[in-house]
């Protein structure tokens, strides 16, 4: 009878194990998870990997979403993992960060305001200069006039004036005229309360007279102030004229000064400078005994 515990029967020894079919025995070294086992005799264990036994490289956890519960606390045989590494992107696929910050516009706004103020202030100054003029420059001028270095402040000079006589009316480029063709008869010097013939008055300028013309609507006290400049024998003509370039205009041969007031100190300065002055073509020629009836 066969003993169930003796499958080979009769206590015969079991056949030797097949080398191709290893039997149970000690667990061989596998290098994977589990208890560490010694390698077979005559073989060296493989070098340790970059990760301790039981750990997995990042992104290769066998569990969805990360390591199994509690795995992050297990560090058998090695040091805990280091800090998390930044994500690795393929070349050319780096995500764009936030757009670079633009510089603040505040400095440019300040610069623009300063420039605008400078333009406004500078433009106002230029406009005031053009409108009011420089006090050292002459005031309103007549055609053909220029400023000479030897002239008084504000006086304008005129050159190349014809001394010829004519019996025809003359269209003078200046109003009142400062010289040019004129009548053969000169105007008697003195004070007039009406307009006088320009062609005769120009002849008096040729003799060295100063012509004080004023606006007919000038205040009475200003008119009297101008008339008071004349004394008998002076080479002065005082008369009203319409449409003057200023309230008061003083003229001599080739010289003119336009004023806004009869009280201007330059009235007397002009008379002193140009009555029988160096600009006179015929100094010493008479200024009376010809045409005109002055009231003084």
Residue 136 confidence (pLDDT):
40
Number of domains in the chain: 1
Residue 98 lies in a domain: no
Residue 128 lies in a domain: no
How does DSSP classify residue 253?
A: T
**Is residue 292 domain-resident?**
no
Q: Which two tokens stand for residue 134?
A: 């420089």
Domain extent for 226: 155-274
Residue 257 lies inside a defined structural domain of this protein: yes
In a domain, 36, yes or no: no
The helix/strand/coil state of 114 is helix
Q: Is residue 159 part of a domain?
A: yes
Write the DSSP symbol of residue 267: H
Mean pLDDT for all residues in the chain: 75
Residues of 216-254 as b/e, b for ≥16 C-beta within 10 angstroms? Answer: eebeeebbebbbebbeeebbbbbbbbeebebbbbbbbbb
Q: Residue 173 is part of a domain; what is its CATH number?
A: 3.40.30
Is 261 inside a domain boundary? yes
Residue at 293 is within a domain: no
pLDDT of residue 232: 96
Is residue 197 within 8 Å of 293, Cβ to Cβ?
A: no
* Residue in 207, 193, 178 with CA at minimum distance from that of residue 288: 207
pLDDT in tens, 32-74: 444 455 555 666 665 555 555 555 555 554 545 555 555 444 4
Closest residue by Cα to residue 279 from 142, 139, 153, 163 = 163
Distance CA 66, CA 59 (A): 8
Query: For 183-234, what is each residue's pLDDT tens digit?
Result: 999 999 999 999 999 999 999 999 999 999 999 999 999 999 999 999 999 9
């Amino acid at each position: 009878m066969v003993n169930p515990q003796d499958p080979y029967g009769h206590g015969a020894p079991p056949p030797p194990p097949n080398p191709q079919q290893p039997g149970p025995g000690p667990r061989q070294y596998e290098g994977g998870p589990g208890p560490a086992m010694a390698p077979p005799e005559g073989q060296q264990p493989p070098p340790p990997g970059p990760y301790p036994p039981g750990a997995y490289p990042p992104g290769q956890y066998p569990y969805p979403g990360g390591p199994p519960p509690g795995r992050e606390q297990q560090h058998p045989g090695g040091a805990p993992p280091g800090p998390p590494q930044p994500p690795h992107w393929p070349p050319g696929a780096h995500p764009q960060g936030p757009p670079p910050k633009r510089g603040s516009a505040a400095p440019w706004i300040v610069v623009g305001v300063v420039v605008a103020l400078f333009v406004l202030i500078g433009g106002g100054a230029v406009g005031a200069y053009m409108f009011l003029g420089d006090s050292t420059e002459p005031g309103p001028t007549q055609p053909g006039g220029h400023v000479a270095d030897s002239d008084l402040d504000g006086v304008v000079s005129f050159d190349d004036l014809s001394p010829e006589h004519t019996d025809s009316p003359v269209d003078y480029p200046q109003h009142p005229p400062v010289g040019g063709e004129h009548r053969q008869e000169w105007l008697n010097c003195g004070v007039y309360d009406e307009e006088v013939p320009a062609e005769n008055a120009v002849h008096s300028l040729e003799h060295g007279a100063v012509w004080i013309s004023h606006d007919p609507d000038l205040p009475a006290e200003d008119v009297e102030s101008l008339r008071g400049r004349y004394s008998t024998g002076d080479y002065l003509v005082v008369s009203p004229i319409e449409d003057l370039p200023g309230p008061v205009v003083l003229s001599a041969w080739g010289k003119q000064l336009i004023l806004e007031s009869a009280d201007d100190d330059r009235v007397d300065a002009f008379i002193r400078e140009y009555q029988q002055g160096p600009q006179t073509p015929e100094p010493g020629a008479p200024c009376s005994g010809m045409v005109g009836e002055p009231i003084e």
